[in-house]
Amino acid sequence: MKTLQFREALREAMNEEMRNDKDIFVMGEEVAEYNGAYKVTQGMLDEFGPERVIDTPIAENGFSGIAVGAAMNGLRPIVEFMTFNFSLVAIDQIINGAAKINLMSGGQFPLPIVFRGPTASAGQLGAQHSQAFENWYANTPGLKVVVPSTPADAKGLLKSAIRDNDPVIFMESEQMYGDKGEVPEGEYVIPIGVADVKRKGDDVTIVTFGKIYHRVVKAAEQLASEGIDVEIIDLRTVRPIDYDTVFESVKKTNRLVIVEEAWPLASISTEIAYKVQREAFDYLDAPIQRVTMRDVPMSYAANMVESTLPNEGRIIQAVKAVCYASA
């Protein structure tokens, strides 16, 4: 094992895949000359040149359309959005283009394309730069949606995403790019659609993904000091969702809390709660609880940011609610 920053794990995944396949290229705002807005693509221009590491204008709809056309013609683009908030400008190319072309062409045009970049809140960035759209994209057949929480998962899942012949939405966090973690040496991939039980426990299951996972870990540590043993499932992929791992955990713990950063309406947590009550209802000893972003646009003030996001206090409260309800 070696220790890498989250950004370094992403870069290593892209470098390895680009060395192995000349059809892979990266494009986006400031990915080349500036070495990436978050330094994820640092050094890649020097190694692969301007034909494979391409700076674009501030025109998400335009360069996303170019990438879709390139994928239709046999190339394998990696598109970096400076933030997925800006992907809304390109959403027609993603939803009506990339997600649909394989079906509408009768399978004649696979779409091997990765759209990647940071999602959700990154601190005091205001309402237009603090939105989590994982559930929006996961609502769309034809797309796969990946949201890793650790450097090791980021590398293994990005390599799988780049090799996939379907379009993949790969969502990260600005606040995790500097996070360090152990990453396996040598070649490895993590299959898309497989959750990871990050912490085993017997009293309650928490399902989560992305950077909020780290708040769940802190909450679980505090709960452990109070005698509550939490099992943590990191989905890693929100389309497809690994429901079987969730069901098996709920059958063991008999209690479920779901934590995510998106707004509550039509969220990933809503869908998981529905599936669990359909498939594992008889195993539940308490109503399912969920902790999401509050149902408001994000404010700028630091205290309002903390109050709006899922935090350790709200997670602990939800866990105690399911535990004490069945006591």
C-alpha torsion 284→288→289→290, nearest 10: 130
What number of other Cβ atoms are within 10 A of residue 44's Cβ?
A: 20
Encoding tokens for residue 258? 């779901």
87 token code pair: 């992907």
Q: Which of 8, 60, 172, 261 is catalytic?
A: 60
Neighbour count for residue 141 (Cβ, 10 Å): 9
80 is catalytic: no
Catalytic residue check, 129? yes
The answer to whether the beta carbons of residues 113 and 87 sit under 8 Å apart is no
Strands 144-146 and 237-239: antiparallel
Angle between helices 6-20 and 151-163 (to 10 degrees): 30
Residue by residue, DSSP assigns 155-201 as: HHHHHHHHH-SS-EEEEE-GGGTT-EEEE-SSS----TT--EEEE--
DSSP state of 94: I
CB burial class (10 A; 0-12, 13-18, 19+) of residue 207? buried
Partners of 114 in the β-ladder: 78, 168
287: which 2 tokens? Answer: 């109503």
Residues 6+ away with beta carbon under 8 Å from 287? 322, 325
Exactly one of 8, 12, 29, 129 is catalytic; which is it? 129
d(CA 107, CA 295): 40
Helices (H), 121-165: 134-138, 151-163
Please list the active-site residues.
60, 129
